[in-house]
Homo-oligomer: A and B are copies of this chain.
Amino acid sequence: MQLFYTPDILPQHKAFILNEEESKHAVRVLRMEKGHQLYLIDGRGGRYIAVITDAHPKRTVLEIVDVHLDHEKRSYYLHVAIAPTKNSDRLEWFLEKATEVGIDEITPIICEHSERKEVKLERLNKVMVAAMKQSLKAYLPKINHSVKFDDFIRRKFEGKRFIAHCAEGDKSYLSTLLQPSVPLLVMIGPEGDFSKGEIDAAQAQGFIPITFGNVRLRTETAALMACIETNLLNRLGV
């Protein structure tokens, strides 16, 4: 069934009017007609079943026949802070995959070794909306404005905070530290990794150093590994 992302819809709505672009897509492109059913998702966990009552090409009118809140809500909260990759395709790729697998919040962090210091939030958001629709999810991950590393590590976070780095030193596996249902924040560094100073500063702020095993991973691969390991470990209740 066709799925539309309509962030303006609210649970109490009995009817909804698709905007001009969506109406055109539904009526002109998809050739939908009066009586046809479609899904609306609000990006906040709400999934609605709607029926077309007026297949108007510019303002298609829908009747809401079913509302499902907290649709496929995950049992954990994952925030990944990632240094933007040199090649922005790699960051976009991560956001697509993380949205499919499950992630709640992303913060681009600008580090000492970061070559890219700017991100196009609108573009990144588009990538996540497409991935959310493609994977039939009702939650749109939140992406924050980029933040300097030093400012980011001083921010409050109600949960466990981790820093994944490749430098020497004591590191643990996520599996030994994860507490199901405790929110977690994982920081992933840039191509040149975090600097020694950044690693020390993060630990001084309470970040716990972690490793994904004896593998040397690209930034976006490590970030996705954090998402998939968190997903699996929560399922296993490890």
- Spell out A's residues near B (CB within 8 Å): 72, 93, 97, 100-102, 134-137, 173, 175, 213-218, 221, 224-225, 228-229, 231-233, 235-236, 238
Contact = CB atoms under 8 A, between A and B. Distances in A.
Contacts of A93: 93
Given A228-B228, A236-B238, A215 B100 contact: yes
Copies in the complex: 2
29 contacts: A72-B214, A93-B93, A97-B221, A97-B224, A100-B215, A100-B216, A100-B217, A100-B218, A100-B221, A101-B215, A101-B221, A101-B225, A102-B215, A134-B216, A134-B218, A135-B215, A135-B216, A135-B217, A173-B235, A175-B232, A175-B235, A213-B231, A224-B228, A225-B228, A228-B228, A228-B232, A229-B232, A232-B232, A232-B233
Contact of A229 (B215, B216, B228): B228
The A contact surface, by secondary structure, is: helix
Contact of A216 (B97, B136, B214): B136
A227 to B, nearest CB: 9
Residue among A72, A97, A102, A217 with the highest chain B CB neighbour number at 10 A: A97
Given A135-B217, A135-B218, 14 more contacts: A72-B214, A97-B221, A100-B216, A100-B218, A101-B221, A101-B225, A134-B216, A134-B218, A135-B215, A173-B235, A175-B232, A175-B236, A213-B231, A232-B233
Contacts of A214: 72
Contacts of A218: 100, 134-135
Nearest to A214: B72
A215 B231 CA distance: 11
Contacts of A217: 100-101, 135
